[in-house]
Structure 1
Amino acid sequence: MGKILTKIGQFYLYGLLAIALSIALGIIWFKSNSGYRVRNGKVYFRTFDNLHWQFQSKEVQGANPTTIRTIPRSGNQYGTDNQGVFFGDVQLMNADPGSFFVLDWRQEYSRDADQIYWKSIPITDDVEHWEVLSQGYSKDRTHIYYGKTVVEGADPASFVVTGEGTSHAKDKNHSYNMGRRIN
């Protein structure tokens, strides 16, 4: 009986390892097949649609097919050419390709010499004092942000993210969850 249980346990363990390996390889494959592509003189951004389980390509309007490149360490989400910067298929308005870099691709923050961006949206021009916190939060001298949204009434001097793996935070006056005041 003990040998049978051992065999079943081994079979179960190998099955779990095979599933985990398949998921990891799938994620790597999907990420490596996303990004910017040039076809017939046009630039396209290719990404995987998690809802429909298929790749989608969208034309990147205004991108130069001879100079487009994916920005390193950007999760294949950001690109630049000789004239502009792109997040997916959207051009970041007034972004400077010469000074642009990705700060934290997992939280989708980036910057150039004059502006901080969340995805393709400028959120602050206080580049000197801005910093990424965690769990989607960031701050500058006067505001706390959750993604692109200003967390109304939050105090930057006392604000801390309290939940590891969650979006709970607090300052000297209130508690917050996902950028919303909860007390």
Structure 2
Amino acid sequence: MRKYSFISKIGQGAYGAVVKAKINETGQIVAIKRILLKPDEKSQLEVIREISTLKNVEHENIITLLSTNFSSSTASLIMEYVESNLKLVINDEMRPLKLSNHYAKFYFRQILLGIKYLHGLNIMHRDLKPENILISLKNEVKIGDFGLACLYFPADKDRTYSHQVATRWYRAPELLFGAVRYDPRVDIWAIG
């Protein structure tokens, strides 16, 4: 991690922290998500999910994973840096990104294009919320945070999935009622 210079902390969560950094050699600004590797299986599974999903997707409305770095206690995901997120825009905390009906429709279209791409690959995001919808100063939407993403198997109607996914406010009704058989429509509910 010596090739990066820390600029500022962007966010903090149960998983670890996200920081803004600069690649010393090129000057490129990146976001580094540092995930604490706990001995429990759940946290390790989330790291594997996020890395494997981001390594296998490429779309203009999905955050780009540039590289990864591991130590004995952390996994670092080096990703493209995006200046804001939908929550900050909605709360009007990013003055250059005033939210009007025009921009709301523009953002919504980009979110749907990203989700259409993911669902076309049979990937369910399962944690869509304003904090995970990143927005650049050029009004480009990037879907981020794939720690709860999973593959959907449409031909296997008996396959079960965890119902303890998605932030409660954006959780589809079937998840609230404990359903373990569901499909990518849980992402569409969250978007709505």
TM bucket (normalised to shorter chain) is under 0.3
Q: With the length of structure 2 as denominator, give the TM-score of the two structures.
A: 0.23
Q: Which structure has more strand as a fraction of its residues?
A: 1
| Structure with more relative contact order (C-alpha pairs < 8 Å, separation 6 or more) | 2
Q: Which structure has more helix as a fraction of its residues?
A: 2
Larger radius of gyration: 1
